[in-house]
Structure 1
Amino acid sequence: ISRLTGLNIVTISNYVTEFIKNGLVIEKGLDVSTGGRRPTLVELNPKSGYIIGVGLTALNIVGILVDSKAQLICEVKKERPSEITEAVIDRLVETVEDVLNKSKVEVKKIKGLGVGIPGVIDEAGQTIRWFGSMGLSMVSISGISLRDIFEKEFDIPTLVEHDAACAVFGERWFGFEDDIKDMVYMYTGVSCGLIINGQTYRGSTNSAGELGIFNSAEPDLELRRQESLNLGTWELDLGIVYNAKVAFEKGLKSRIFELAENNPEGVNLSLVIEASKVGDKLANELLETAGRQLGKKIAFLVNLLNPEVVVIGGGIEQAGSVFIDSVKRTVHAWSREEAVRSLRIVPSRLGENAIAMGAICLVLQRIFMNA
């Protein structure tokens, strides 16, 4: 620990003593002596409490409960509302309720709750501003204090963080070797999480990572959307659902529409992915097009930041090789040779759990920092 942190052994010993005093760490016997007094082994105390993480992905809302060693106790998934509105908050609250009911863990044993959600987070007040788009709709909801909502509802200390920032922290914590210093986590096409020089990068006002841009002064929402599309597809699902609906209106045949029972309003990203898995031509074309769109955005970031790893997540990685290979081809075509020489582009190793697990990691970090 001393070597990893750069802190001297006396300081580390003082921290460990305090952690033992607070029940976060327990002694586990004695190690083999290499000369002199045998060192005492310690480990995290899994019974010191539990943490809940909730993450909003492109497809679902994921709720996870772990012990203090981040070992999975229970997991809940609920379908997310198609739009980013107050309904999302209600579903997030329901997810936490389901986790508590399923796990049977008493609320008083929950040491913290982490929520990963899109938007610009005000760190001081834990309020959120959303400028989200999905399909044809765009909404703006301001001044919602998620922390207050959850703490009032459950009486659990709550941390709210940007979804992609949670995900990149979780992926770095659980999925990659310690020497990775520069990483980008692409949460579909509207935002990304950044680790620069080993640290999560949030920017000067905690709003770094938002990729979508639009003219907020334009009152006509459809015109605003068209203007932003001229700069590339910024929908949460990379325009896949919108383009599928356009194909339906043109009378094209596809397994997608069979699964949606020929109702265009029933088309969603999950159905497109499902149709692609059985080789549907339109579904594959939609995913390849989306891969090219995302690949161009990634290429811009690769040229700008020169990361070692780019992780594709947020649920879109479930589209598989048709999508991921399209992304890779586009990134290599649009990036400078030097920037991609040692670049790895990989699907999320935590999958849909990345945001929730990252939120849990951030809560654990805060618990130990405040111990």
Structure 2
Amino acid sequence: MRSAKMEKAFWKDEILSDKQRKNLSILELVMKRGPISRTEISRLTGLNIVTVSNYITEFTENGLVIEKGLDVSTGGRRPTLVEINPKWGYMIGVGLTAFNIVGILVDAKAQIICEVKKERTSKTAEATIDKLVETVEDILSKSKIESNKIKGLGIGIPGVIDEEVQTIKWLGAMGLSMVSISGISLKDIFEKEFDIPALVEHDAACAVFGERWFGFEPEIKDMIYMYSGVGCGLIINGQIYFGSSGSAGEVGIFNPTEPDPEKRRQESINLGTWELDLGVVYNAKNAFKDGLKSKIFELAENDSEKINLELIVEASKTDDKLANELLEAAGMYLGKKIAFLVNLLNPEVVVIGGGMEKAGSLFMDTV
């Protein structure tokens, strides 16, 4: 089994050897800018052309990189272009959002081949994990890609992960009891089930890594990815920041909008209210119990168990008073939390994700 240290190689530069660092810098350029010539790679990385050619030759022999035509010549022989071979292998990623469970299969160029979505209806941690496993099964069935061609499986989980043994120390925004799965390695569960190398990581850390890798130029060194308000991924000075025990970014248990210290304490204890949707569904269900009238409940057929974020957003589009109030309150809460983090960390970029960004303009404008 690979150590957590090796698995963290993609997250922390100081763990990488010189060869691994050169590997990644070249592959990143080929991934992002391919087709690209060896000469251009040499210019952009600062590595000499012989070193670049040696690495590209090794990648080509392994089937990871393929030649793709010729570049325009500025004099002399036209340079050969190279790019990532999309059929070299495939990766699966699964995780939770405010709306549902999402799983995707991508090829080696990170192009989405297959996507599966499932409703988040599970009430226990065990059932939620079963749903995640089921999502991977559906991806393999739907894509018809043989499991031996899958290079890796990533699982994004809200909460705190023990990196050494890949167990969950706290389930965070799941709002689920974890007593019965305490000490169980999710990595082992998925590797035993699918015989694919697996990595379990904090969802917000995965999200900020993805944004940093695919969405922004390397010049961006400080970034916050706000994962719906219950947690955030942090990049500080170009590195993902985990903190001393891996719990950095767990900001969901503090409510800056609640003036009563005792209520704040109770909310911190009752972590089940801090869902990925900022408590919007929880508050809507309470309104239903209180007998309030709303388009939300019509759409849910007067069944509180059918109330979800999608219905609330749909009701808001009809200018429903309760739906608007719920989304506006959530936007105000998230906005205050972001303002606090911006003042604390002074990032260059703040990204809002995790599903709540789909809640519409009322929510985002309030943020």
Structure 2 residue aligned with 1:104, among 144, 159, 171?
A: 144
Structure 2 residue aligned with 1:246, among 286, 294, 297?
A: 286
Residue deviations 1:70-100, cap 9 Å, x none? 1121111111235451111100110010001
1:166 is aligned to 206
Structure 2 residues not aligned, in runs of 5+: 1-40, 255-261
> Do the aligned residues in 1 keep the contact of 2:70 with 2:79 (CA within 8 Å)?
yes
- Correspondences of 1:47-196 after superposition (within 5 Å): 47-83=87-123, 85-133=125-173, 139=178, 141-196=181-236
Q: Distance in 1 between matches of 2:145 and 2:212?
A: 28
Structure 2 residue aligned with 1:29, among 58, 69, 77?
A: 69
Name the amino acid aligned to 2:152: G
* Structure 2 counterpart SS, 1:211: coil
Q: For residue 320 of structure 1, report the CA deviation from its aligned partner.
A: 1.0
Q: Distance in 2 between matches of 1:225 and 1:81?
A: 28
* Structure 1 counterpart SS, 2:58: helix
2:83 is aligned to 43
Worse-superposed segment, 199-208 or 39-48:
199-208
> Do the aligned residues in 1 keep the contact of 2:233 with 2:249 (CA within 8 Å)?
yes
- Root mean square deviation of aligned Cα: 2.6
1:325 is aligned to 365
* Structure 1 counterpart SS, 2:210: helix
In the superposition, the TM-score normalised over structure 2's length comes to 0.79
**Is 1:13–2:46 an aligned residue pair?**
no
Q: Distance in 2 between matches of 1:230 and 1:3?
A: 55
**Is 1:212–2:255 an aligned residue pair?**
no
Seen in structure 2, the aligned counterparts of structure 1 residues 84 and 212 have a Cα distance that, compared at 3 Å, is farther
Q: For residue 134 of structure 1, report the CA deviation from its aligned partner.
A: 6.0
Q: For residue 190 of structure 1, report the CA deviation from its aligned partner.
A: 1.1
Name the amino acid aligned to 2:68: K
Q: For residue 248 of structure 1, report the CA deviation from its aligned partner.
A: 2.1
Q: How many pairs were matched up?
A: 318
**Is 1:268–2:268 an aligned residue pair?**
no
Q: For residue 4 of structure 1, report the CA deviation from its aligned partner.
A: 4.5
Q: For residue 40 of structure 1, report the CA deviation from its aligned partner.
A: 2.3
Name the amino acid aligned to 2:159: G
> Do the aligned residues in 2 keep the contact of 1:62 with 1:78 (CA within 8 Å)?
yes
> Do the aligned residues in 2 keep the contact of 1:260 with 1:266 (CA within 8 Å)?
yes
Seen in structure 2, the aligned counterparts of structure 1 residues 196 and 5 have a Cα distance that, compared at 3 Å, is farther
> Do the aligned residues in 2 keep the contact of 1:54 with 1:96 (CA within 8 Å)?
yes
Seen in structure 2, the aligned counterparts of structure 1 residues 129 and 84 have a Cα distance that, compared at 3 Å, is farther
Name the amino acid aligned to 2:353: G
Q: For residue 101 of structure 1, report the CA deviation from its aligned partner.
A: 0.5
Structure 2 residue aligned with 1:226, among 249, 266, 277?
A: 266
Worse-superposed segment, 259-268 or 311-320:
259-268
1:338 is aligned to none
In the superposition, the TM-score normalised over structure 1's length comes to 0.78
* Structure 2 counterpart SS, 1:47: coil
Name the amino acid aligned to 1:169: F
1:259 is aligned to 299
Q: Distance in 2 between matches of 1:209 and 1:183?
A: 12
Q: For residue 62 of structure 1, report the CA deviation from its aligned partner.
A: 0.9
Q: For residue 213 of structure 1, report the CA deviation from its aligned partner.
A: 3.6
2:317 is aligned to 277
1:288 is aligned to 328
1:303 is aligned to 343
Q: Distance in 2 between matches of 1:203 and 1:275?
A: 40
Q: Distance in 2 between matches of 1:76 and 1:125?
A: 28
Q: Distance in 2 between matches of 1:19 and 1:260?
A: 54
